[in-house]
């Protein structure tokens, strides 16, 4: 397992929290991974106390759960929860796209073009992590278009509270990734045309594509575990 490297912030608990958060969000610690406090403390060179505090903070935002007689582990969600999550994402991101189509500035549109070129470049070399990061910035740029902040903050909370491991994302499958990159290109064209309804509808379809990839991966993982 490859762990993230994070520069220590002001407190030891904050340092542990940021390291674990980065590892969970990047997929280095997949859903269901046990988090052994003594091992984390040893690895990061701290005592158990800041590890416990960090885990409590991560639990409060839904990244970590505790189970009786088991301890802490990376949160994992049932298929029904995921369906609900993606319905929420489709609604919020569809609205973000609709608003962006009516207010996006030339500079913001140019930024989307730049990010999409990065997406294509990452696709060429099959770099799932790079594609995922570019896509996240693409969607964040849409949410911020026109100087809006409320939707951007809500989407940031959704993304950070429900991280998508790389192996469960659209970027882990090259064929699906190609569809997703083309879908991003279509969104840019709709923004250029100022087509609010089209941008909304297409964003909803894009989120549904992500949901299908996530659920298929979850089912495959469950089937492997049952063997």
Note the pTM of the prediction, 2 decimals.
Answer: 0.77
Query: Which H or E run includes 66?
Result: strand 64-67
What percent of the chain has a predicted confidence (pLDDT) above 90? 63
Render pLDDT for 155-181 as a digit per residue (tens, 0 to 9). Answer: 988 887 777 777 778 898 899 999 999
Mean pLDDT on 3-25: 77
CA angle (141 as vertex; 160, 90 as ends), nearest 5: 60
- Phi then psi for 71, rounded to 5 degrees? 110, -155
Q: How high is the pLDDT of residue 122? A: 97
CA distances from 181 to 26, 93, 107, 163, 199 (A): 20, 17, 21, 20, 15
Query: Which H or E run includes 187?
Result: helix 174-193
Helices H / strands E in the chain, number of each: 9, 2
Q: How high is the pLDDT of residue 5? A: 52
Render pLDDT for 52-67 as a digit per residue (tens, 0 to 9). Answer: 999 999 998 878 999 8
Report the C-alpha gap between 115 and 131 in whole angstroms.
Answer: 10
Q: How high is the pLDDT of residue 58? A: 92
Q: Tell me which of 112-116, 188-192, 218-222 is least confident.
A: 218-222
pLDDT greater than 90 at residue 221: no
pLDDT greater than 90 at residue 78: no
The closest of 130, 121, 225, 226 to 169, measured between CA atoms, is 130
Q: How high is the pLDDT of residue 222? A: 59
pLDDT greater than 60 at residue 9: no
**Polymer length in residues for the chain:** 227
Mean pLDDT score across all residues of the chain = 88
- End-to-end alpha carbon distance in the chain: 23
Render pLDDT for 96-151 as a digit per residue (tens, 0 to 9). Answer: 999 999 999 999 999 999 999 999 999 999 999 899 999 999 999 999 998 888 99
């Amino acid at each position: 397992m490859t762990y993230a490297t994070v520069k220590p912030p002001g407190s030891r608990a904050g340092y542990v929290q940021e390291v674990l958060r980065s590892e969970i969000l990047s997929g280095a610690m997949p859903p269901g991974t046990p988090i052994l406090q003594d091992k984390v403390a040893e690895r990061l060179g701290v005592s158990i106390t800041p590890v416990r505090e960090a885990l409590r903070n991560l639990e409060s935002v839904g990244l970590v759960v505790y189970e009786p007689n088991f301890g802490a582990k990376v949160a994992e969600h049932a298929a029904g929860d995921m369906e609900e999550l993606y319905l929420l994402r489709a609604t919020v991101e569809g609205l973000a796209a609709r608003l962006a189509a009516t207010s996006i500035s030339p500079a913001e549109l140019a930024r989307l073009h730049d990010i999409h070129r990065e997406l294509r470049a990452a696709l060429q070399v099959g770099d799932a992590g790079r594609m995922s990061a570019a896509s996240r910035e693409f969607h964040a740029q849409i949410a911020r278009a026109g100087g809006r902040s409320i939707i951007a903050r809500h989407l940031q909370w959704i993304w950070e509270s429900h991280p998508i491991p790389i192996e469960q994302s659209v970027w882990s499958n090259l064929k699906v990734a190609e569809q997703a990159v083309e879908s991003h290109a279509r969104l840019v064209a709709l923004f250029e045309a100022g087509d609010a309804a089209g941008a909304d509808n297409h964003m909803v379809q894009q989120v549904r594509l992500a949901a299908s990839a996530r659920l298929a991966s979850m089912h495959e993982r469950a089937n492997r575990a049952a063997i």
